[in-house]
Copies of this chain bind each other. A is one copy, B any other.
Amino acid sequence: MTVQEAADRGDVFVPHGFDEQTVDLGEVRMNYATAGEESSPALLLIPGQSESWWGYEAAMPLLAEHFRVYAVDLRGQGRSTWTPGRYTIDNFGNDLVRFIDLAIGRETLVSGLSSGGVLSAWLSAYAKPGQVRAAVWEDPPLFACQTTPAIGPGIRQAIGPVFEAWNTWLGDQWKVGDWDGLMRAMPTALPPEILRAMASMIPPPDPDAYPPAGQNLREYDPEWGRAFTSGAATASCDHVTMLRQVRVPVLFTHHFRTVDEQTGRLIGASTDQQARRVRDLVAEAGQRIDYRSFPEVPHSMHEHAPKLYVEAVLDFVATLDQETP
């Protein structure tokens, strides 16, 4: 049974601790959850690839004390519309521009993880004037999610083989849906250095976990992954060009990363060299960028260390308030 078939039967999704609603953005109906007082400053949370909004479930109660939080499912994630053939950074980004207009309606802080961190960077450069107050880039694969980046490893030298495996055995829109085949294939289909990293970093699935293991992938259109490994998602949005146009203050958190000596594979979101280049380019754009290295923290700080994530966000916001006249 494919997820589409499952979805038709209504049993793909699981309940969560925050209410969900949708907004019509034109092409896409975007699903999102909110928390916090309407009168608090707005905060847009953008999940990473294969995450849904509820990846922020642990962090949201902490954030809700300070912000009106909007956690979204991007197109192809969770309960938002799946759009075959149309997964690009520019389309994801312009969905968020519309979301800020239609669902938030005022200037907002934006924070995104991984691909969502790249989208936070995209909004920092390309949002409509007045939409973004400042941006948090949580371990974004800047350069490293492009196929032919200006500097350092691209997606083939990083996470690419994992996305390809997901796409091969699950299929665009889960049309193949061979979960068991995916599980069987991983040990041989993935490069050894990735398998070693996964073994050391990812806890074995807990059969009692909630949401259940794999729930995130069940809600995810595997065409996303193919769009990134083929370059379709990142074409026409070079990161050098984008970073040179950043218009708002930025907090850039950089988590666990290492480069496999023999194969050159990046385990992590970006190299130190790439991170330095990011800082240079934003500085050349005349914007402040606070760089914080968390080499012990896994890719998703907001999920695995929600307190630390919230503190980092609040520390950053505090400095913004000071500098605002």
Q: Give the CA-CA distance A148 to B177 in the complex, in Å.
A: 28
Closest A-B pairs by Cβ, 9 of them: A151-B264, A94-B94, A27-B126, A26-B128, A88-B236, A148-B156, A24-B129, A85-B238, A147-B148
CB distance from A29 to the nearest CB of B (A): 10
When distances are taken between beta carbons in the complex, the residues of chain B under 8 Å from A125 are: 27
Specify which of B150, B171, B172 is in contact with A156 (CB 8 Å cutoff). B150
Contact indicator per residue, chain A 229-268, by CB within 8 Å of chain B (1) or not (0): 0001001111001000100000000000000001110000
Majority secondary structure of chain A interface residues (helix, strand, loop or mixed): loop
When distances are taken between beta carbons in the complex, the residues of chain B under 8 Å from A172 are: 168
Does A90 have its Cβ within 8 Å of any Cβ on chain B? yes
Q: Which of A25, A181, A237, A264 has the most CB of B within 10 A?
A: A264
Does A190 have its Cβ within 8 Å of any Cβ on chain B? no
Q: Is the CB of B280 within 8 A of A262?
A: yes
This protein's copies in its complex: 4
Q: A232-B235, A262-B277 are in contact. Are A157 and B168 (CB under 8 A)?
A: no
CB distance from A273 to the nearest CB of B (A): 6
A/B interface sample: 11 pairs, CB < 8 A: A25-B128, A26-B127, A86-B241, A90-B91, A91-B236, A101-B128, A148-B156, A168-B176, A177-B181, A232-B236, A262-B276
Does A178 have its Cβ within 8 Å of any Cβ on chain B? yes
Q: Is the CB of A152 within 8 A of B264?
A: yes
Within 8 A of B (CB), among A107-158: 125-129, 131, 147-152, 154, 156-157
Residue of B nearest to A191 (CB): B150
Specify which of B25, B150, B151, B263 is in contact with A151 (CB 8 Å cutoff). B263
Does A220 have its Cβ within 8 Å of any Cβ on chain B? no
Q: How many interface residues does chain A have, given as a range?
A: 35 or more
Within 8 A of B (CB), among A89-108: 90-91, 94, 97-98, 101-102
Does A183 have its Cβ within 8 Å of any Cβ on chain B? no
When distances are taken between beta carbons in the complex, the residues of chain B under 8 Å from A149 are: 156-157
Q: Give the CA-CA distance A86 to B90 in the complex, in Å.
A: 10
CB distance from A247 to the nearest CB of B (A): 8
Q: Is the CB of A85 within 8 A of B264?
A: no
Contact indicator per residue, chain A 174-218, by CB within 8 Å of chain B (1) or not (0): 011110010001000100000000000000000000000000000
Q: Give the CA-CA distance A156 to B127 in the complex, in Å.
A: 28
When distances are taken between beta carbons in the complex, the residues of chain B under 8 Å from A235 are: 232, 235-236
Does A169 have its Cβ within 8 Å of any Cβ on chain B? yes
When distances are taken between beta carbons in the complex, the residues of chain B under 8 Å from A262 are: 276-277, 280
Residue of B nearest to A271 (CB): B264
When distances are taken between beta carbons in the complex, the residues of chain B under 8 Å from A126 are: 26-27
When distances are taken between beta carbons in the complex, the residues of chain B under 8 Å from A129 are: 24-26
Q: Is the CB of B175 within 8 A of A168?
A: yes
Q: Give the CA-CA distance A301 to B195 in the complex, in Å.
A: 42
Does A32 have its Cβ within 8 Å of any Cβ on chain B? no
Q: Give the CA-CA distance A27 to B147 in the complex, in Å.
A: 23
Does A54 have its Cβ within 8 Å of any Cβ on chain B? no
